[in-house]
Every structure is written in C-alpha cells, then in structure tokens.
Amino acid sequence: MMIREATISDTAGIAKVHVDCWRTTYKNIIPAEVLERLSYEQRTELWKSNISSEDDHQVYVVENEKEEISGFVSGGPEKSGEYPPYEGEVTAIYVLKEYHSLGWGKQLFMRLLQHLSSMNIHSAIVWVLADNPARYFYEQLGAKLIVEQHLIKMGDKNLNMVAYGWEHK
C-alpha cells in the first residue's frame, strides 16, 4: 500500500474507484437509474478538471500491491464560508470495498489533514448522505456531527445530507 499525490495520468483509475464505490456504497440509497448512468468517462473528465485546477484542493491516491489505484481522497479550503470554524473541506474519500477495514481510508484522511495543516488550516468539514453507513467512519476519526439537514435531489428521490467536522492541530 502506498499513498501519493495524484497526477493527471491517475484520472481513469480515480474515476473507476469513484464509480465503483458509488455503485456499491449507495446501492439502495441513491435511485438505481442514477447509479446506472454513472460513467467512467464522465468521472475521468471530472477528475482531470479537478487535478489540473489551480486552486488549493489536493487529491491523493492509495495504490494496492499491484500499483492499482484502490482509493482516493480530495479536499482543500472550505469554499462556502457558511460553517465557521471549519476552514477546510474533505470533498471526496473512497476506498474500494475489498480494501475496507485495512486502515487505508484513515491514512488517506490523515494525509489530507497534513496538506490542510501545511496551509495553516486546522479544521475540516465533510458532507455525507445521512443513510450512508460509512458515515460512522468519520465518527471513528473523531468527527462531530454539526449539521443534520441538507436536502439534495437525486433522480426522483430527496436525500438528506449531514455534515461532520474536525478540529486538529
């Protein structure tokens, strides 16, 4: 297992993890037609844009023993300014199901916190679907539930979002 900064050449691997994780994690939460419409090509373009962006957001990948991307995290400064004192934001963190419970998600998260700390950002927020059982991962990392209602519409379904926050040194 190795964690490193993502490059443009990683975007197809990141996209595959992103789509595959959505399809396994959000099955029975997000409408099936939304999950079926996800495409590796669309997500590859999204991640090309994210990685080539000149803002302070960063993407890190974790590779398995075959040097295949098996997870990623992204984040940077929190842009809305609506949730002080949280200055940073985790915008995505996904690890393929077969690598859960190995500590890879935690190590990815800690690497992102190091990046935020290097920018003198010592707090972070993450939004997660309320029905996502992986939300308890954040609680295990010491996050506090800070916002419990935020509706988004996916397909024909309204979904609740919750936000967790951390303060770190």
104-141 tens-digit pLDDT: 999 999 999 999 999 999 999 999 999 998 889 999 99
Beta strands in 10-87 (DSSP E): 58-63, 69-77
What is d(CA 19, CA 29) in angstroms, rounded to the nearest whole number? Answer: 15
| pTM of the predicted structure, to 2 decimals | 0.93
Q: What is the CATH number of the domain that holds 80?
A: 3.40.630.30
Q: How open is the CA angle 163-164-168, to the nearest 5 degrees?
A: 145
- Amino acid identity, residue 15? A
23-64 tens-digit pLDDT: 999 999 999 999 999 999 999 999 999 998 878 899 999 999
Question: Residue 17 is part of which domain span?
Answer: 2-167
Q: Report how many domains make up the chain.
A: 1
Closest residue by Cα to residue 19 from 6, 29, 34: 34
